[in-house]
Copies of this chain bind each other. A is one copy, B any other.
Amino acid sequence: RKLDKNVQENLYFDSYSDVTIHEEMIADHVRTNTYRTAILRNSDAIRDRVVLDVGAGTGVLSVFCAQAGARKVYAVEACSIAEQAVKIVRQNKMDDRIEVIRGAVETVELPERVDVIVSEWMGYALLHESMLNSVLFARDKWLKPGGLMLPCKAELYISPINDLVVEDRLNFWRTVKDQYGVDMSPMCDFAKGCIVNGDIAVTLVTVEDVLSHPCKLAELDLHAVTTEQLRSVRGSFACECFGAAAVNALCVWFTVSFPCGDGEEGGRPLVLSTSPFKPETHWKQAVLYLDAPRDVVQDTRVAGEVHLYPSEESARHVCIHVECAIGEHKKQCKTFSIPD
């Protein structure tokens, strides 16, 4: 199904016209509180300066920037939620400092260049339906030399996991005979074909299911990375398993980091993490089910290559190609994407 670009853009922006997604984002305490802390901690760089908020949504990050002392905040938002941002800015008596501009950041005109760009652009698996291309466009067009990016760095991680939910679901069909006297075990293969497919499953991974320390796949310096580089993000990984288990999936997640600001916290950068080892966020984790689960023992090596790139059908859809070798087993390859 290949949609023309206008339809794609409308579907994308439409999904932000419903309150549910904004409620989920604001209620995500890890997300909202980390951005708030990062903005306030960088108030030395923000005070009396000009900020651009790319994809401002309800405008909450713009209000944080005004609270941090910004002289002017341009809150650019393409979707109709911009109308709510206008009301919220007025309600907070900040309409002298925050200007909500409705439009795509690629086409709007600002009266001046900016000192800081703030944006919450991350999608599932970091790059799905992400606005990062728009943020980089804005950076190249509107950010002054030496200006500040909030966040300034993104990192992708991976670990092998044993996903118990999928094991339970496949096993379910063997339990029907005991309960209802009908042998439904032929459904196991069918269920496997439906569940262990090429979809990226966005789901909360239980920390007990994670079978190794996190392994860093890739790092994006948001001051330097180009849209050209985003068309193909590659990384390799190698990790050792904690102990005996069956690897049936890989789990991918991301972090973004903010500059340490005035260094009150000893100069440590502030990190927004979507790791299964950290408190949950609305991004959950991205789970990639392997066609051939493999048993591992302590120190079994799981290694491979990962390639993230935009789908040919829709540039906002991320695809993930994985090549993965578990212990002495033959390498397996599989391509995943997020279903509509």
* A interface with B by C-beta (< 8 Å): 18-20, 22-23, 26-27, 32-33, 36, 58, 60, 63-64, 67, 84, 87-88, 90-92, 169, 172-173, 176, 180-187, 190-191, 193-195
> Which residues from B are CB-within-8-Å of A33?
180
Cβ-defined partner of A194 (8 Å) among B19, B90, B173, B185 = B19
| Contact (A91, B194) CB under 8 Å given A26-B176, A60-B180 | no
Instruction: Decide if B23 touches A88 in the complex (CB within 8 Å).
Output: no
Bound form: Cα–Cα A195–B18 in Å: 9
| Contact (A27, B187) CB under 8 Å given A182-B64, A195-B19 | no
| Contact (A191, B23) CB under 8 Å given A58-B184, A180-B60 | yes
Instruction: Decide if A26 touches B184 in the complex (CB within 8 Å).
Output: yes
Copies in the complex: 2
Bound form: Cα–Cα A183–B26 in Å: 12
Instruction: Decide if B183 touches A91 in the complex (CB within 8 Å).
Output: yes
Binding site secondary structure of chain A:
helix
Instruction: Decide if B88 touches A184 in the complex (CB within 8 Å).
Output: yes
Instruction: Decide if B22 touches A87 in the complex (CB within 8 Å).
Output: no
| Contact (A60, B182) CB under 8 Å given A23-B191, A176-B26 | yes
Cβ-defined partner of A88 (8 Å) among B20, B58, B181, B182 = B182
> Which residues from B are CB-within-8-Å of A92?
182-183
Interface-centre pick from A33, A87, A187 (highest chain B CB count, 10 A): A187
> Which residues from B are CB-within-8-Å of A187?
19, 22, 58, 84, 88
When C-beta atoms are compared, the residue in chain B nearest to A81 turns out to be B190
> Which residues from B are CB-within-8-Å of A60?
176, 180, 182, 184
> Which residues from B are CB-within-8-Å of A195?
19
Q: Identify 24 residue pairs between A and B in the complex whose beta-carbon atoms are under 8 Å apart, listed by A's number.
A: A18-B194, A19-B193, A23-B169, A23-B191, A26-B176, A26-B180, A27-B172, A32-B180, A33-B180, A58-B187, A60-B176, A60-B180, A63-B182, A64-B180, A84-B186, A84-B190, A88-B182, A88-B183, A88-B184, A88-B186, A90-B186, A91-B184, A92-B182, A92-B183
